[in-house]
Amino acid sequence: MTPPAAATDERIPVARLRAGGPIEGVFACTRKDRMTARTGTAYLAIELRDRSGAIPARAFRDADYLAGQFDRGDLVRVAGRVERFRDELTAELTAIARVDPAEVPDPAEFLPTAYRDLDELDGFLEHLGREVYDPGLRTLVDSFLSDEAFRSAFRRAPCTRAGHHAYLGGLLEHTVAVATLAQETCNLHRRLDSDLLTAATILHDVGKTREFTLGAEIGLSDEGRLIGHVAIGQEMVAERAAATGLEAERLLALRHCIAGHHGADALPGRRFGSPEALALYRLNALDASVKGALEQGLPA
């Protein structure tokens, strides 16, 4: 019952599967149900997905045994054939087993990715970082943006699991949008502390680089599940600020902005302590709500 070895780059993508042909290789399992046929025999009904699409699949032989080899949300290695059932393609599987996500080098094979060019967005982020002129805040921002490991994680991370920007590269896209809005807002309202607000927009979601796991689906890390990205981000900013020597007063103002970027309810007294914190909250919500409406439709 062990599926044949097959590298992910050897498999036929879902969009290119054809009736009568084989289905082999690694896919994401995004649905798993134990069903009962009219004959009373148990079978598995699952959904297999890669970035090109999804296909329903069934396993009739040894259904209970196969069910114990994987769970919904796993990456699985399968073997079988593609058939046409009720005018739709479906896969009839003879083997299916869980794959360790560490064996799959690129989760982008199975997860949605940003439509916008990530290199272009990276360039915008570099430019926005240079718009921070306060020496202490600039050093802090540079400590993140010059860290190759962090930049790689930041570039890949989604912004949410199922809300706005819920795809690889979503965090970068959202951050660039909010920071760009902040620049325009500071041009209109010259009394705002542009350095503080720009630094806060760039750093407000850095905790999301550690909030998620990437596999068959976007999941939550233990940190993400137990304390969330705001607390993770506060810790990351405080650690780097200690190494860069940012003044305590400036760090406190920055952390206040980060703490309140989802609203004043998260702040002591449920009140914003600076116009920059209020601005970050509003700009963050603006980009999230507009993107959500474009992707998922207007709220009822």
DSSP string, 229-285: HHHHHHHHHHHHHHHHT--HHHHHHHHHHHHTTT-GGGSGGG--SSHHHHHHHHHHH
Q: Which residues of 142-174 are buried (b: 16+ CB within 10 A; e: fewer)?
A: ebbbeeeebbebbbbbbbbeeebbbbbbbbbbb
Q: Above 50 in pLDDT, residue 123?
A: yes
Length of the chain: 300
Domain 8-103: assigned CATH number? 2.40.50.140
Give 28-76 pLDDT, tens digit per residue.
Answer: 999 999 999 888 899 999 999 988 888 999 999 999 999 999 999 899 9
Which residue spans of the chain are classified as CATH 2.40.50.140? 8-103
Cα(256)–Cα(242) distance, integer angstroms: 17
Alpha-carbon distance of 229 to 208, in angstroms, equals 5
The token pair at 53 is 């699409």
Residue 102: its pLDDT value, please?
Answer: 78
Comma-separated ranges of CATH 1.10.3210 domains in the chain: 111-296
Beta strands in 12-141 (DSSP E): 22-36, 42-50, 53-59, 75-85, 88-99
Among the listed residues 194, 218, 213, 154, the one whose alpha carbon sits nearest the alpha carbon of residue 280? 194
- Which class does domain 111-296 fall in? mainly alpha
Average pLDDT in the 265-294 region? 96
* Number of other CB atoms surrounding residue 24 within 10 Å: 19
pLDDT surpassing 80 at residue 113? yes
The model scores a pTM over 0.85: no
CA 266 from centroid of its chain's CA atoms: 23
How far is C-alpha 107 from the geometric centre of its chain's CA atoms?
11
Indicate whether 8 pLDDT > 80: no
Judged against a pLDDT cut of 90, whether residue 179 lies above it is answered with yes
Which DSSP symbol is given to 157?
A: -
Q: Is the pLDDT of residue 25 over 80?
A: yes
d(CA 204, CA 233): 7
- The model's pLDDT over 182-241, given as tens digits with 9 standing for 90+, comes to 999 999 999 999 999 999 999 999 999 999 998 888 989 999 999 999 999 999 999 999
Stretch 232-258: mean pLDDT: 97
- Please give the C-alpha separations between residue 137 and each of 10, 188, 252, in angstroms, as whole numbers: 47, 22, 12
What is the C-alpha end-to-end distance of the chain, expressed in Å? 48
How far is 101 from 98, CA to CA, in rounded Å? 9
